[in-house]
Amino acid sequence: MNTAPQNLASPAPAGTGELAARFAREFGGTPEGIWQAPGRVNLIGEHTDYNEGFVLPFAIDRTARVAVRVRPDSTVRLLSTYGDQGVVNARLDSLQPGSAKGWTKYPLGVMWALQQRGIEVPGIDLLLDSDVPLGAGLSSSHAIECAVISALNELTGAGLEAQDMVLATQRAENEFVGAPTGIMDQSASLRGSEGHAVFLDCRDQNARLVPFETQPADLVMLVIDTKVSHSHADGGYASRRASCELGAEVLGVKALRDVQVGDLAEASGLLDEVTFRRVRHVVTENDRVLRTVELLESEGPGAIGSLLDASHASMRDDFEISCAELDLAVDTSRASGAIGARMTGGGFGGAAVALTPVALEQAVRDAVVKAFADAGYKVPDIFTVSPAAGARRIA
């Protein structure tokens, strides 16, 4: 079940003053601070993270923001600026997996995960505002979690490093929310930097920034939100992960990270047809991530289009996590001038990205909208994103 509110357009982000004023109206006092964390686009490297492989996401210029005030008791009061859910109340001593509903799973999951680390978490009042599209595969849930853990890390004086916060939010996702995700989304949100992608080794959390600036190359990164909602808590994600674990077990490796492209011929004789295709996607995707990093550092973003295309084909055919709307967005973008396009995120809906020459941006937008209308699909939301800074306090 998708835990984020659905069928809601992403609202315009509130300014810090507006958010603080809304907080005061709702909770009767001023917040102690406002923290924000970005959503992310995964440039390339899908479903490689939980296989201890490589990913290349970047934080985007759409964020979740939380205004927070510590309470003198163990009550948690949560409110979002979107939807009509009203204030949700919870108690710190009753937090356990399955105890939260809707978007509140994410902040409450973070608080629970910090408690599991032995950190004394206070009651809080929290107001959430976000313009990260919901259910689009741009990690709206992790943006919330990273904003909350950034706030609590400061307010409790826990002194957690980025890698500690990554693991804490992963535990919140895996055990509290019930989504078997890896560490990519949190890493991008917490470690992002303007003008860069985050090259992450998911085995040891080693991360370094890779230049990814589209403007000097006369390119834009278009995001095409298909409006087909997805959820990591649904069974498709878990079944793909189980296939990867089975493949690693049969091949006698710790994780699929340890299988090279040259090993695939032998692997095909050891695995059933479906498991082999799942394995082939992960192995070739890891290779594509490494080649993308090399090209970005040597030639720039104009050289990576064919790798984006190959990544989408692999997700469509081998991992089988695309859908008709995503395929149409990718195919139409390429036919209309994008130099490379792929679905991004966990799949089964969500968004595609299209790396597009500035001069052809409008042509691509128009072609995709027309193609969706002709197919009888919902009108897609199309917008540009740029690599942005990671989670931080903003007021």
Contacts of 95 (CB under 8 A, 6+ apart): 108, 111, 112, 115, 176
Q: What are the start-end ranges of the H helices in the chain?
A: 16-27, 105-116, 140-156, 162-171, 184-191, 235-251, 264-268, 273-298, 305-317, 324-335, 361-375
With b for 16 or more beta-carbon neighbours within 10 A and e for fewer, the 81-98 pattern comes to bbeeeeebebebeebeee
CA–CA distance, 223 with 381 (Å, rounded to integer): 8
Residue with tokens 């992450």: 200
Residue with tokens 């163990």: 74
What Cα–Cα distance (Å) separates residue 84 from each residue in 80, 139, 206, 231?
A: 8, 22, 41, 21
Residue with tokens 């080794």: 201
Residue with tokens 């089964």: 348
Active site residue 331: no
β partners of residue 382: 224
Q: Quick check: helix, strand or coil at residue 126?
A: strand
**Active-site annotation holder among 185, 225, 309, 318:** 185
CA–CA distance, 19 with 81 (Å, rounded to integer): 9
Do 102 and 161 meet the contact criterion of CB atoms below 8 Å apart?
A: no
Please give the backbone phi and psi of residue 251, each rounded to the nearest 5 degrees, phi first.
Answer: -80, -5
For the annotated catalytic residues, the residue numbers are: 185
